[in-house]
């Protein structure tokens, strides 16, 4: 049975400052815990409803309906950012945790080699990111870094840097390479000026609506369209 101190510790991991201090995060649900067990991440503790009861699971869960199992997992050490060779994705100030988790899942589906993010992008171990990623956080690492410098690094290696904008070249009419860096921008403001300055090619997904229609696509939906088109060629 969990002690009161253990319950408080697990509950505290809902907040980023405690995840950072303790170097731990929580995953919930049978599928997610199995992903964690298969990943090579260090599992600190597994808590099961059959052992602790409904009341305790409700106290430590961050979900509206507590799952029957959760795991406390140790954050992996930071990886060195190696020179990429394939198709990569960079996220500029993505703030919504559901968007980040979904984008990571999409990147996993389309076999993106590496995922990068600006330092102000939502934290990858946010519980809502973890749930939306459906286990992708255990298969795809996300590197937080200076995006303008990253773009320059790709360019100096002879790789193109693509940015997604409302005004740009029609993605369905462009020649797209098998490798390079694709930048997706903030939900409200798009790609920041600092990053836009080092983009080598601007792309847009054209709207096929006649007359008044949606102003833009959700950033996760746009990521799926962009990556699908790159992989289709």
The CATH number of the domain holding residue 47 is 3.30.1330.30
pLDDT, residue 42, reads: 95
- Do 98 and 180 fall into the same domain? yes
Residue 1 to residue 67: CA distance in whole angstroms: 17
Is the domain of 120 the same as that of 162? Answer: yes
Rounded to the nearest 5°, which phi and psi values hold at 91? -115, 120
Q: For CA atoms 37, 43, 49, 50, give the dihedral sign.
A: positive
- Domain ranges, residue 23: 4-74
- Mean pLDDT over the full length of the chain: 93
Classify strands 114-117 and 161-170 as parallel, antiparallel or unpaired.
unpaired
Q: Which residues pair with 117 in a beta bridge?
A: 91, 144
Digit-coded pLDDT (tens) for 62-119: 998 999 999 999 999 877 666 778 999 999 999 999 999 999 999 999 999 999 999 9
**Total count of domains within the chain:** 2
Q: Are residues 228 and 155 in the same domain?
A: yes
Summarised one tens digit per residue, pLDDT across range 198-231 is 999 999 999 887 765 677 789 999 999 999 999 9
Domain end marker among 28, 45, 74: 74
User: How are beta strands 201-204 and 24-28 bridged, if at all?
Assistant: unpaired
143-175 burial, b at 16+ Cβ within 10 Å, e below that, comes to bbeebbebbebbbeeebebbbbbeebeebeeee
Predicted TM-score of the model (pTM): 0.91
Joined together, the tokens standing for residue 138 give 């255990």
Whether residues 98 and 195 share a domain: the answer is: yes
Same domain, 99 and 36: no
């Amino acid at each position: 049975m969990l002690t009161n101190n253990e319950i408080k510790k697990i509950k505290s991991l809902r907040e980023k400052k405690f995840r950072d201090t303790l170097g731990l995060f929580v995953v919930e649900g049978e599928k997610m815990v199995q992903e964690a067990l298969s990943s090579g991440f260090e599992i600190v503790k597994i808590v099961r409803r059959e052992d602790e009861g409904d009341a305790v699971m409700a106290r430590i869960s961050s979900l509206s309906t507590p799952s029957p199992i959760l795991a406390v997992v140790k954050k992996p050490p930071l990886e060195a950012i190696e020179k990429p060779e394939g198709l990569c994705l960079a996220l500029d100030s993505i703030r919504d945790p559901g968007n980040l988790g979904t984008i990571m899942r999409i990147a996993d589906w389309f076999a993106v080699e590496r995922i990068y993010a600006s330092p102000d992008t939502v934290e990858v171990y946010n519980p809502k990111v973890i749930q939306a990623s459906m286990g992708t956080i255990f298969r795809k690492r996300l590197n937080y870094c200076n995006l303008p410098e990253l773009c320059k690094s790709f360019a100096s290696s002879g790789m193109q840097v693509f940015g997604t904008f409302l005004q740009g070249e029609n993605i369905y009419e462009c020649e797209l390479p098998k490798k390079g860096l694709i930048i997706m921008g903030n939900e409200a403001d798009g790609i920041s000026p600092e990053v836009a300055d080092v983009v080598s090619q601007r792309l847009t997904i054209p709207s096929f609506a006649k007359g008044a229609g949606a102003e833009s696509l959700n950033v996760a939906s746009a990521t799926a369209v962009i990556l699908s088109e790159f992989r289709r060629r």
